């Protein structure tokens, strides 16, 4: 939730220097160096000029030429609780109160209810003292506007102030971040496969957990490509890489004994099991030790998830299930990066009733596992590699590359 609109930044006098304040997520507090590295990287990728990035107390301060566009770029990163555009003043009681009231007069509209919130390091006073004094000063300065103090439950505008030992940052604009930990902060490589909406969110969560992700895309028919590439286009923008290499594999549908219309009726479980075998082969060939499985105990049968996990371990690989704690927060993350249109498909998966007697093959039938192994071996041979410079829209570029290779 934004505290104030970006357009309100234009209301601040030009002589007031505005800085970007980055608030690390809870689990990024011990990974600030990685976060700063990613901030530098994303600003360079998006051609946003900056003069300085520094850690101050528990936050990261960025001095950028264009705070509005730079803050937007920074807030595409994981490991961030929130990003603010703020006015910096000395951490002095009188100065803070005066500047809060000055900013409030410029920003608040006639008749609005406002809330001032002050947090952080305070020496010789407590943050609540600043809130009370600034509220009183602002009402006195803006009598013609007839603005009124609100409550935590009811207000029109929220002015947030964060205190460090040296400075106070009066946030003209604040927006929530994506959470998680900084990209690449684990310093571990992992392979994930995108073949439907749930696997896309699983890949996103893998990135959010700080892994260096290698993305492969598996599809059955050419008609699925556009849909999957649109999803992939949203995810690659979160990798903090100027150029990315994608691998596409066209799946050979195996015959599963005793089941009619395999491709349609068994697709959710069969695709999950088959892509896991494909991931194992790719990881073994590339000498990668970790693979990400699009499994959730809230969606998939426990026997199925346990069986698949054991199969991966038996190949001396380490399986990760980033969706093991799947809940509504995953959907919020997906919405924030533009995957909201695909959420209904994920919700439908949660409503599928899986009959154990009908789907006995997934528990490890020797013949059916052999069929999946054969299908995985054939699928590997269909590999198409695409390299793209990551931009706002790579959909057509990726499609052209894949189709030109076919």
What pLDDT, in 10s, does the model give residues 94-121? 999 999 999 999 989 999 999 999 999 9
Q: What is the residue-wise DSSP string for 97-145?
A: HHHHHHHHHHHPPTT-EEEEEEEE--SSS-HHHHHHHHHHHHHHHTGGG
Other Cβ atoms within 10 Å of 242 Cβ, number: 13
pLDDT tens digits for 313-340? Answer: 999 999 999 987 665 666 666 676 666 6
Q: What is the residue-wise DSSP string for 22-79?
A: EEE-GGGTT-HHHHHHHHHHHHHHTT--EEEEEEETTEEEEEESSHHHHHHHHTTSSS
Domains of the chain, earliest start first: 6-179 (3.30.2130.30), 189-405 (3.40.50.620)
Whose CA is closest to 246, among 404, 401, 24? 401
- State what percent of residues in the chain have pLDDT above 70: 82
Q: What is the pLDDT of residue 123?
A: 86
Report the alpha-carbon angle 208-212-213, nearest 5. Answer: 80
pLDDT tens digits for 32-78? Answer: 999 999 999 999 999 999 999 999 999 999 999 999 999 999 999 99
* Strands 212-219 and 243-250, sheet pairing: parallel
Instruction: Report whether 61 contacts 21 (CB < 8 A).
Output: yes
Among 54-58, 162-166, 294-298, whose mean pLDDT is lowest? 294-298
Q: What is the pLDDT of residue 270?
A: 80
The answer, yes or no, to whether residue 405 has pLDDT greater than 80, is no
Q: What is the pLDDT of residue 359?
A: 44
What number is the average pLDDT over the span 152-175?
Answer: 94
The answer, yes or no, to whether residue 167 has pLDDT greater than 70, is yes
The answer, yes or no, to whether residue 132 has pLDDT greater than 70, is yes
pLDDT tens digits for 183-211? Answer: 999 999 999 999 988 899 899 999 999 99
Whose CA is closest to 55, among 74, 32, 73? 32
First to last CA, the chain: 45
Q: What is the pLDDT of residue 252?
A: 82
The CA distance from 336 to 324, in Å, is 21
Q: What is the pLDDT of residue 174?
A: 94
The answer, yes or no, to whether residue 342 has pLDDT greater than 80, is no
Confidence class for position 263, pLDDT limits 50, 70, 90 = very low
Q: What is the pLDDT of residue 198?
A: 85
Query: Roughly what angle, to the nearest 10 degrees, separates helices 302-314 and 267-286?
Result: 20
Q: What is the pLDDT of residue 298?
A: 77
pLDDT tens digits for 370-399? Answer: 888 889 999 999 999 999 999 888 999 999
Instruction: Report whether 159 contacts 170 (CB < 8 A).
Output: yes
Confidence class for position 2, pLDDT limits 50, 70, 90 = very low
The answer, yes or no, to whether residue 27 has pLDDT greater than 90, is yes
Helix, strand, or coil (residue 214) = strand
The answer, yes or no, to whether residue 363 has pLDDT greater than 90, is no
Confidence class for position 341, pLDDT limits 50, 70, 90 = low
Q: What is the pLDDT of the chain when averaged over all its residues?
A: 86
Confidence class for position 262, pLDDT limits 50, 70, 90 = very low
The answer, yes or no, to whether residue 144 has pLDDT greater than 90, is no
What number is the average pLDDT over the span 274-298?
Answer: 93
Q: H-type helices in 195-266, by residue range?
A: 197-208, 225-236, 262-265
Confidence class for position 221, pLDDT limits 50, 70, 90 = confident
pTM of the model as a whole:
0.86
Other Cβ atoms within 10 Å of 163 Cβ, number: 20
Among 1-15, 226-240, 278-292, whose mean pLDDT is lowest? 1-15
Q: What is the pLDDT of residue 297?
A: 81
Query: 305 vs 179, 298, 314, CA distance in Å?
Result: 27, 11, 14
């Amino acid at each position: 939730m934004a505290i104030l609109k970006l357009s309100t930044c234009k209301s601040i006098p030009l002589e007031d220097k505005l800085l970007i304040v980055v608030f690390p997520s809870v689990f990024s507090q011990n990974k600030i160096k990685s976060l700063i590295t990613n901030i530098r990287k994303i600003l360079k990728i998006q051609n946003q000029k900056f003069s300085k990035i520094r850690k101050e107390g528990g936050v990261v301060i960025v001095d950028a030429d264009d705070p509005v566009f730079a803050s937007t770029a920074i807030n595409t990163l994981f490991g961030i609780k929130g990003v603010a555009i703020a006015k910096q003043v000395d951490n002095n009681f009188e100065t803070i109160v005066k500047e809060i009231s000055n900013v409030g007069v410029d920003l608040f509209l006639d008749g609005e209810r406002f809330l001032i919130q002050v947090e952080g390091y305070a020496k010789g006073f407590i943050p609540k003292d600043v809130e009370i004094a600034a509220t009183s000063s602002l009402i006195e300065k803006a009598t013609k506007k007839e603005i009124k103090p609100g409550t935590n439950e009811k207000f029109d505008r929220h002015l947030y102030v964060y205190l460090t030992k040296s400075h106070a940052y009066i946030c003209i604009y604040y927006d929530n971040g994506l959470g998680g930990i900084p990209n690449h902060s684990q310093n571990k490589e992992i392979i994930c496969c995108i073949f439907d909406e749930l696997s896309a969110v699983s890949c996103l969560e893998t990135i959010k957990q700080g892994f260096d992700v290698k993305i492969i895309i598996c599809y059955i028919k050419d008609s699925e490509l556009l849909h999957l590439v649109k999803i992939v286009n949203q995810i690659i923008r979160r990798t903090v890489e100027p150029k990315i290499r994608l691998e596409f594999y066209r799946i050979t549908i195996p015959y599963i004994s005793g089941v009619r219309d395999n491709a349609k009726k068994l697709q959710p479980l069969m695709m999950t099991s088959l892509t896991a075998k494909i991931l194992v082969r790719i990881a073994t060939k590339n000498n990668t030790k970790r693979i990400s499985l699009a499994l959730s105990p809230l969606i998939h049968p426990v026997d199925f998830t346990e069986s698949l996990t054991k199969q991966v371990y038996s190949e001396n690989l380490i399986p990760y299930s980033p969706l093991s704690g799947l809940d509504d927060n995953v959907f919020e993350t997906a919405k924030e990066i533009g995957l909201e249109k695909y959420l209904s498909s994920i919700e439908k998966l949660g409503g599928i009733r899986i009959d154990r007697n009908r789907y006995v093959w997934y528990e490890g039938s020797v013949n059916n596992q052999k069929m999946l192994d054969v299908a995985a071996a054939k699928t590997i041979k269909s590999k198409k590699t695409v390299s793209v410079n990551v931009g706002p829209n790579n959909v057509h570029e990726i499609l052209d590359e894949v189709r030109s290779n076919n």
